[in-house]
Amino acid sequence: MRLTIQAGIVGLTRRKRGILNKEYANLQRFLHGDKTVPLYSANKQQALRFYKKVKRKEYPLSLRSDLINLKRAKAFWFLKVPVCGVRGGIKVPVKPHREFPNGKLCESKIVRRNKRYMAMLTFDVSPPSMRRCSSILAVDLGERFTATTVLWQKDVMKAQFLGKEIRGIRRHYAWLRRRLQERGLTHVVKRIGKKEKRCVNAVLHRVSKWIVSIADSNDSYIVLGDLTGIRQRTNGKGKRLNRIVSNMPYYRLTKMIEYKAMLMGIPVVTASEAYTSTTCHICGCEGKRKTQGLFICPRCGEYNADLNGAINIAKKFEGALGYMPLAGASCEHALNQASSLEAPCESVG
């Protein structure tokens, strides 16, 4: 699988910054039609390969794998970057947001954000083999709480509610977009949309990292509710529900959990969500979800709806296994096995 690590380019000398600025600026000019600019030949080839249609103002500098290398000198990492006019390229110091993995360095990119350069370094890594686990960590994905988890371990249940702030972020930016559109500031709407995505992704990374760490420390399978076709199932059930479902980042969070768990050898599997939100986990009686966060059972009374769903997911997986992992029962095919998952190329923090 491939994993991309974000690393800041720091401590550049005036000479190296000038060379990198020139190469980056010449790439933009080349992509926008000026074919006479001095640009390293391999960088030209990469640009023509990846950026066939030029729409944006700025594009990353794509680096061919055979022309770059990453070496450590004392406490610093140095990345060799091929540039025009300097034989062998320049070596720039980089500071990764997390430790570099053991693997082959592949084609990577350099991007510029607010006059600062970032290296997006892609590695080809071999994930560990999937382990056999002794407990279940069930995850119910929802709107009020992005993830409700239940640790099911030897008849002991521990619940957690994660990612509540995403709901507030979505509402804030929806309100802000309406106000900007009323004033005709449509160019600002696009800019805040990117900021909203960054804020949501930051929360998703924290939530997925926390879920994987809990599963690792408790030797748990991660069991996700199967949300395949949820958008089709909510069609015709009202604009509000359609907006909620379309705005919630279920797929992104699932993929983050999958590839982070894969790096630690933790299996991620799915269990059907059919009737998990309308069935009481205590007595099995059919109840009603009165509000987004409240489930009512005619026999057992009121219960948190997200927690009820997460416990039902855990019970479904337990029943599907005949659940005796301690006795060596094998798990069904994991979503995040190397044969079934290509990790998304995004920064990992």
Percent of all residues in the chain with a pLDDT value above 90, rounded to a whole number: 35
Tokens found for residue 17: 């910054």
Segments in 143-223 forming alpha helices (H): 165-182, 186-217
- Mean pLDDT, the chain, integer: 83
pLDDT reported for residue 324: 41
pLDDT reported for residue 152: 86
Say if residue 348's pLDDT is above 70. Answer: no
Instruction: State the number of CA atoms in the 13 A half-sphere of 347 facing the CB.
Output: 17
Which residue bears the tokens 């069904």? 332
pLDDT reported for residue 331: 44
Q: Looking at per-residue confidence, does 243 or 265 come out higher?
A: 265
CA distance 37 to 262: 44
Q: What is the pTM of this model?
A: 0.75
Q: How confident is the model at residue 241 (pLDDT cuts 50, 70, 90)?
A: low
Q: Looking at per-residue confidence, does 325 or 208 come out higher?
A: 208
Say if residue 100's pLDDT is above 80. Answer: yes
Say if residue 330's pLDDT is above 60. Answer: no
pLDDT reported for residue 321: 62
CA distance 135 to 133: 6
Which tens digit of pLDDT belongs to each residue from 117-168?
999 999 998 878 888 888 899 999 888 888 999 998 876 788 999 988 988 8
Say if residue 82's pLDDT is above 90. Answer: yes
Q: How confident is the model at residue 50 (pLDDT cuts 50, 70, 90)?
A: confident
Instruction: State the number of CA atoms in the 13 A half-sphere of 130 facing the CB.
Output: 23
Classify 237 as helix, strand or coil: coil
DSSP state letter for 57:
S
